[in-house]
């Protein structure tokens, strides 16, 4: 009798319809002004990042990962929409402002489809934790773009500065903790002003972990956008003064701790194997801030420029059991996050929307490489450079924040990035066919770009 019951149970298990696999969860960790050379797994000899290094060892570390813009507001818009910022109008207008400010009336237009909006429509719980910087007025806030829950700063931590704040204090070795009046906001309501910036990374982490633990049954999308290492630099007492790299290193090492806590929360909740975690930065290091400016590693220039140091940033993907550990040299970037997440969630992108990124699922899970495709380096609304394969052409060059007006190059400067990381050996004269290929890609791209109304002025 017992044998028959066991046999029937086994047959039922085989014949019974199987439930569909649980939807994939997504965690997107986005740092502010973290440079290519600021993590141990990317070559930093002084900043200890064991948790992020472990994440890279267990996952996929990208050597050629790009932000979609050279400064923060447009970069964040592109990350959440998969579109170059010029399409959404997240670019300067006549006044030339390069990002949104505390008094700005504009922001990411309500007409833009964001990751949060698309995933929410699929039944995902969505949360934004950390810096927003995509607008503070109605139509531009996290709740207007698909986030069920939001906790963090509305813009950069150096805005709302005290009127009597000494010039240069934001990047001084010991910036005054009470020098800024930036608010900390939960779901549209100010809960603290000024925000205690020494506690931000810790509180963001606690908020993120609580969200993960509350959503164990999923599916969910968590966007954790750290305030640091953007100046002014702060760290909690547990990390302050502990890094060889000064307060900048302290802030990065606390982000490393935070990343470890997020991954551990996923493991403890049994969600690690079903959650794709992406870690990256909004742009390169802010080199004009001296010791608080970070490192671009082997690359030229930093934040604010379209040289490699301004837009090539750390990029790590982690999904244990699904993603085989390796280093990927394919050029990929923030624009690819949107189509990758949506494809994995089974969400179709509306045909009326032009998406500039590519689904990275074949790269992540099948070990495939992407075919060569153009990547366009914008500075605001102007196209400064284009990369295809190993070749990068500069049509214009300009220092990140200097007084120069920039220089137009005809023919363009041409560099082989595989052999010339510093972009110092111009090979334009020897490679006219490469320039012709890039010129054709630029013409095709620009013919399909309809600029949005500029938002920053």
Q: How far is CA 372 from the centre of its chain?
A: 22
pLDDT tens per residue, range 358-385: 999 999 999 999 999 999 999 999 999 9
Say which CATH class 25-162+176-366 falls into. alpha beta
Contacts 24+ apart (CB under 8 A), 180-185: 180/232, 182/102, 182/153, 182/154, 182/155, 182/157, 183/153, 183/154, 184/151, 184/152, 184/153, 185/150, 185/151, 185/152, 185/153, 185/154
Residues in Cβ contact with 312 at an 8 Å cutoff, skipping those fewer than 6 apart: 36, 64, 65, 66, 284, 296, 299
Q: How far is CA 386 from the centre of its chain?
A: 20
CA distance 370 to 388: 12
Clarify whether 133 is annotated catalytic: yes
Contact of 133 with 154, CB cutoff 8 Å = yes
Per-residue pLDDT of the chain (457 residues; tens, 9 = 90+): 333 334 334 333 333 333 468 899 999 999 999 999 999 999 999 999 999 999 999 999 999 999 999 999 999 999 999 999 999 999 998 888 999 999 999 999 999 999 999 999 999 999 999 999 999 999 999 999 999 999 999 999 999 887 777 766 777 777 787 789 999 999 999 999 999 999 999 999 999 999 999 987 879 999 999 999 999 999 999 999 999 999 999 999 999 999 999 999 999 999 999 999 999 999 999 999 999 999 999 999 999 999 999 999 999 999 999 999 999 999 999 999 999 999 999 999 888 899 999 999 999 999 999 999 999 999 999 999 999 999 999 999 999 998 888 999 999 999 999 999 999 999 999 999 999 999 999 999 999 999 999 999 8
Exactly one of 31, 72, 328, 386 is catalytic; which is it? 72
Position 14 scores a pLDDT of 36
Query: Domain-by-domain residue ranges, the chain?
Result: 25-162+176-366, 375-447
CA distance 192 to 175: 20
Report CA-CA distances (Å) from 231 to 181, 293, 352, 419, 441: 14, 8, 39, 33, 37
Position 167 scores a pLDDT of 67
Exactly one of 31, 128, 133, 386 is catalytic; which is it? 133
Position 20 scores a pLDDT of 63
Asked, colleague to colleague, whether 25-162+176-366 and 375-447 share their fold, the answer is no
Angle value at C-alpha 354, between 350 and 358, nearest 5 degrees: 95
The residue among 55, 98, 24 whose CA lies nearest residue 271 is 24
Clarify whether 41 is annotated catalytic: no
Position 3 scores a pLDDT of 36
Position 2 scores a pLDDT of 38
pLDDT tens per residue, range 143-171: 999 999 999 999 999 998 877 777 667 77
CA distance 221 to 452: 27
In CATH, the number for domain 375-447 is 3.30.1120.10
Residue appearing with tokens 């120069």: 404
């Amino acid at each position: 009798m017992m044998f028959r019951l066991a046999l029937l149970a086994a047959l039922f298990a085989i014949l019974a319809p199987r439930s569909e696999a649980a939807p994939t969860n997504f965690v997107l960790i986005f740092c502010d002004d973290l440079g290519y050379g600021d993590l141990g797994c990317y070559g930093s000899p002084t900043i200890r990042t064991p948790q992020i290094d472990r994440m890279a060892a267990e996952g996929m570390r990208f050597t050629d990962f790009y932000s979609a813009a050279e400064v923060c507001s447009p970069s964040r818009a592109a990350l959440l929409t998969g579109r170059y910022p010029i399409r959404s109008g997240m670019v300067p207008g006549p006044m030339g402002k390069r990002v949104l400010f505390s008094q700005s009336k504009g922001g990411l237009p309500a007409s833009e489809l964001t990751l949060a909006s698309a995933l929410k429509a699929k039944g995902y719980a969505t949360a934004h934790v950390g810096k927003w910087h995509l607008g503070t007025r109605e139509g531009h806030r996290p709740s207007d773009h698909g986030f069920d829950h939001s906790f963090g700063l509305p813009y950069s931590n150096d805005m709302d500065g005290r009127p009597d704040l000494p010039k240069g204090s934001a990047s001084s070795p010991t910036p005054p903790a009470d020098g800024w009046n930036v608010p900390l906001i939960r779901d549209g309501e100010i809960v603290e002003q000024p925000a205690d910036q020494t506690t931000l990374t810790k509180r963001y982490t606690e908020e993120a972990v609580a969200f993960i633990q509350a959503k164990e049954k999923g599916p969910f999308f968590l966007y954790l956008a750290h305030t640091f290492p953007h100046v002014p630099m702060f760290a909690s007492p547990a990390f302050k003064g502990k890094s060889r790299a000064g307060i900048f290193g302290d802030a990065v090492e606390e982000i490393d701790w935070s990343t470890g806590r997020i991954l551990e929360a996923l493991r403890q909740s049994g969600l690690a194997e079903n959650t794709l975690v992406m870690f990256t930065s909004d742009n390169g290091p802010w080199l004009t801030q001296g010791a608080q400016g970070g490192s671009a590693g082997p690359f030229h220039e930093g934040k604010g420029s379209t040289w490699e140091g301004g837009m090539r940033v750390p990029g790590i993907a982690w999904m244990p059991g699904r993603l085989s550990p390796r280093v990927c040299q394919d050029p990929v970037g923030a624009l690819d996050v949107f189509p990758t997440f949506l494809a994995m969630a089974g969400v179709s992108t509306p045909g009326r929307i032009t998406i500039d990124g590519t689904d990275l699922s074949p790269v992540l899970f099948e070990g495939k490489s992407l075919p060569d495709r153009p990547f366009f380096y914008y500075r605001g609304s102007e196209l400064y450079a284009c990369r295809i394969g190993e070749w990068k052409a500069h049509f214009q060059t300009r220092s990140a924040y200097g007084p120069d007006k920039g220089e137009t190059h005809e023919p363009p400067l041409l560099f082989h990035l595989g052999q010339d990381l510093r972009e110092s050996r111009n090979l334009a004269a020897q490679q006219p066919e490469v320039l012709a290929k890039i010129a054709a890609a630029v013409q095709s791209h620009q013919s399909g770009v309809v600029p949005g109304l500029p938002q920053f002025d």
